[in-house]
Amino acid sequence: MVKAQTPQNPLAGAFLMALSGLSFVGVYVTVKIVGTRLPAAEAAWIRYMLGLVFLLPVARSLWSEGAGRDVLKISALRGVVHVVGVAMWFFAMARITVAEVTAMGYLTPVFVTLGAVLFLGERFALRRTLAILCALLGVLVILRPGFRELQPAHLSMILTTMGFGASYLMAKRLTGLASTNMIVALLSVWVSLFLTPFAFINWVSPTIREIMLLFGTAFFATAGHYFMTMAFQRASLGVVQPVTFLQLVWSVLVGLLLFNEAIDQFVVLGGLIIVSSVLYITLREARLKTTKSGETP
């Protein structure tokens, strides 16, 4: 029996992607409120342990599906690099502005593209190279080395995007070996497991308020991925991808209204440069994929 496809609805897809972006802003807000009292690895570990609750509804189907040796090996390696990204992200989020984290976070697709060239044998076309260089220029505009003091959190965000980029490349490899639920579940399990020793190195007893906030982080993250999946089912990448960049607008507003963070025109400008580069790469890859499949671009 052929599974019926979800009807295409570009407006609904764009709306769902907007909800996804708002959900991820909720992630930023809850982690920002938690602050720096808890070590970054501990806060990340608590978030992922609480997030395991959301796997319960699909636990039976996951048990029935099972996971082969290749899936376990690749997902375990993915868990290692994702742990680096997660820990560095929690560290950065509590120490620099929401807008900076959001803008620099858009580097992840750039590292995915670079990794695909270096490790998956994809062609390094001139246009792709120029787009990557423009994205790196955007980072320099945000950081302004030599014109202001760089914080460890800025460097940790670069490590975050590299870790997440490597994680997404492995996720791409896993899509041909396991179901989406299995891929997501194994990531949660491995990250929780690998974070455990680091979480207890310098354990600080969390308050009820901090636990509830981190549960909110897990909820918003799950909702964000859920809305994103539904958006991809209802509209093409060319429709939904530009909507994701509204996160930068919302992040600037949230930082201003909730955390009294001044609007930094260099962060906004650098973010827009990165966004433009990522949008070009995304739409270019989607167009090439459509052309190779024999469809009219």
Position 7 scores a pLDDT of 66
Position 295 scores a pLDDT of 36
What is this structure's pTM? 0.81
Task: Return mean pLDDT, the chain.
Answer: 85
The Cα 91–Cα 93 span in angstroms is 6
Q: Which residues contact 99 (CB under 8 A, 6 or more apart)?
A: 248, 251, 252, 255, 261, 263, 264, 267, 268, 271
Q: What is the pLDDT of residues 227-268, one digit of tens each?
A: 887 887 787 766 776 777 788 888 889 999 999 998 899 998
Structure tokens at 245: 């960049």
Q: What is the DSSP track for 112-144?
A: HHHHHHHHS-----HHHHHHHHHHHHHHHHHH-
Position 294 scores a pLDDT of 41
Q: Which residues contact 139 (CB under 8 A, 6 or more apart)?
A: 104, 107, 158, 270, 274
Domain boundaries, the chain: 35-205+235-292
For the segment 102-113, the average pLDDT, to the nearest whole number, is 85
1: DSSP letter: -
Q: What is the pLDDT of residues 166-218, one digit of tens each?
A: 988 888 788 778 887 888 888 889 999 999 999 999 999 999 999 999 999 99
User: Which of the four pLDDT bands, split at 50, 70 and 90, describes residue 3?
Assistant: very low
The Cα 65–Cα 17 span in angstroms is 29
Give me the percent of the chain exceeding a pLDDT of 70. Answer: 91
